[in-house]
Structure 1
Amino acid sequence: MTAIELYARPSADFAARHAHAVALLQSAASEHRGRIVQATSLGAEDMVLTDLIARHTVGIAIGTLQTGALHAETLALIPRIEERYGLRVEIHEPDHAAVVHFVGRHGEKAMYESIELRKRCCAIRKLEPLSRMLDGREAWITGLRREQSHHRAEVPFRDLDDHGRVKLNPLADWSWNDIWHYIATNDVPYNPLHDQFYPSIGCAPCTRAIAVGEDFRAGRWWWEDEKAKECGLHVAQDTPPAVSMIGARP
């Protein structure tokens, strides 16, 4: 059974949520003309946003982080986006020497050893490339939703990041069912791993399928305490890191 078959059921007020998301994107594109980017993880939410941007000819650039550890299925979406929508996807990669140094010193499985090492890996592969993606830009778009986790339960539609840039979350009030309803209705390309019970997809070593009844993000960094489950892309710098670990190395 596909993710569409499992989840595609709109909320009663889906039309209003949809209209609000489109209006927010259009307003942001006008306000930050030429200086705004969608930072896409290529997950289901971000594919919806890319489709909205293309469908409504909103002037927002599309950028993604090629961490060097993504699933092949995730990477395959980049040419599909470019072919389907006629949009160029900016690809931002980590500093090669920094990755080589980290892996050489700590090994390919360093992320399983401690939260500190996992977050250092995220910093090299995600945070530093993101800083280059956002350099010179006034605003960015994310696929954050309140339903995704307790940590994100109060995600606003509009916020400021640690550098004072506008950070917009047009799908903040969308449900998982809304996401898949939109994908089904508009034939949006999506990662086939979603059909294998991967609702949240990051780097391959740090992502697994979830079981029935598990939380949406249970497949991300599953060996860590729930409070640690962020890579830093969407956490304020003054947020204290969690230090507890659960389970053993995968």
Structure 2
Amino acid sequence: MSKDLRALADELNDAFAKADLPARLRLFRDALDGQIVFTTSLGIEDQALTRAIRTQDLDVAIATLDTGRLFPETYDLWAKTEEQYGFRIKPYYPQAEAIQALVADQGINGFYYGLDMRKACCNVRKVEPLGRALAGAQGWVVGLRGDQSDHRSHLRFVEFDEARGLIKASPLLDFTRDDVAAYCEANDVPVNALHEKGFVSIGCAPCTRAIKPGEPERAGRWWWESEDKKECGLHVAADGSLLRAKELAQS
């Protein structure tokens, strides 16, 4: 099965390069027999994808990871998105016992004091819930863009995610942020109010700040860490590298 999925990922990757956003999503849905899950963080890219999925009535489950540390503006947008598109985003929450153990061990904001502590928090609040969100899925849609970071520039439109045994699609990979913003404006897509305040990439409130002029997009995420460590674990291999970057290094 994995060999078939690898070949299918290659075929879809080539097809995505010649298609627009709605067509990419239709291609992905039509190519897979099993469940497809789109995990939204309610950032501007994910809002564009939500609109493209819902307006085409595609059979794609839309889920989000509620870490318990999100901004109030993110929850407001969550409600507005459900109202505008007439559906419910399925939430996945951290396990209560795991959160209790994490906070008992490192304190409520222990993630500021070491990379291992921050990764432990991300694992409990995001990575483990993601595993439940993707359980049984054959396809996964994400809002990654290639120009968000040097690491992400090595990704392809469609990858076989060996660790999860599914195909992962990034339909916005060749979009710029301006492209996404123009799509949202043209289609009356609701976006997070924090974007107008300099918050470009929005995650958990304690780990996100507005960026300064000239800073890269993801500078506001985990700003106390070095630039080469800024991934939460959702899009990395077991050794911490992005999957495509790892493959390139071994080729």
TM-score, structure 2 as length reference: 0.86
Distance 2:42 2:184 in 1: 13
C-alpha contact 1:207 1:221 (8 A) present in aligned 2:
yes
2:218 maps to 217
**Runs of at least 4 residues off by over 3 Å:** 16-19
Deviation, 1:240, is 6.0
Query: Structure 2: 5+ residue runs without aligned partners?
Result: 1-15, 243-251
Distance 1:240 1:56 in 2: 34
2:81 maps to 81
Distance 1:205 1:90 in 2: 24
The residue type equivalent to 2:178 in the other structure is N
The residue type equivalent to 1:224 in the other structure is E
Report 1:2-17 matches (<5 A).
none
Distance 2:19 2:52 in 1: 10
C-alpha contact 1:33 1:59 (8 A) present in aligned 2:
no
C-alpha contact 2:200 2:217 (8 A) present in aligned 1:
yes
Deviation, 1:46, is 0.2
Query: Structure 1: 5+ residue runs without aligned partners?
Result: 1-15, 242-250
Q: Does 1:159 align with 2:155?
A: no
C-alpha contact 2:63 2:133 (8 A) present in aligned 1:
yes
Question: Tell me, what secondary structure is at the counterpart of 1:62?
Answer: strand
User: 1:176 and 1:101, CA in 2 relative to 1: closer, same or farther beyond 3 A?
Assistant: same
Deviation, 1:34, is 5.4
The residue type equivalent to 1:26 in the other structure is R
Distance 1:95 1:198 in 2: 28
User: 1:53 and 1:132, CA in 2 relative to 1: closer, same or farther beyond 3 A?
Assistant: same
User: 1:240 and 1:26, CA in 2 relative to 1: closer, same or farther beyond 3 A?
Assistant: closer
2:3 maps to none
Question: Tell me, what secondary structure is at the counterpart of 2:151?
Answer: helix
Distance 1:212 1:119 in 2: 28
C-alpha contact 1:34 1:60 (8 A) present in aligned 2:
no
1:187 maps to 188
Report the aligned-residue RMSD. Answer: 1.7
User: 1:80 and 1:19, CA in 2 relative to 1: closer, same or farther beyond 3 A?
Assistant: farther
Query: For 1:68-106, what per-residue CA distance to the aligned partner results, in whole angstroms no more than 9, with x for missing partners?
Result: 111011112222122111122110000011111111221
2:207 maps to 206
Distance 1:27 1:45 in 2: 19
1:58 maps to 58
Report 1:123-202 matches (<5 A).
123-161=123-161, 162-202=163-203
Question: Tell me, what secondary structure is at the counterpart of 2:64?
Answer: strand
Distance 1:164 1:193 in 2: 35
Query: For 1:187-245, what per-residue CA distance to the aligned partner results, in whole angstroms no more than 9, with x for missing partners?
Result: 1001000010011000011000000000100000000011110000011113369xxxx
Question: Tell me, what secondary structure is at the counterpart of 1:217?
Answer: helix
Q: Does 1:37 align with 2:37?
A: yes
The residue type equivalent to 1:207 in the other structure is T
Say how many residue pairs are matched.
Answer: 226
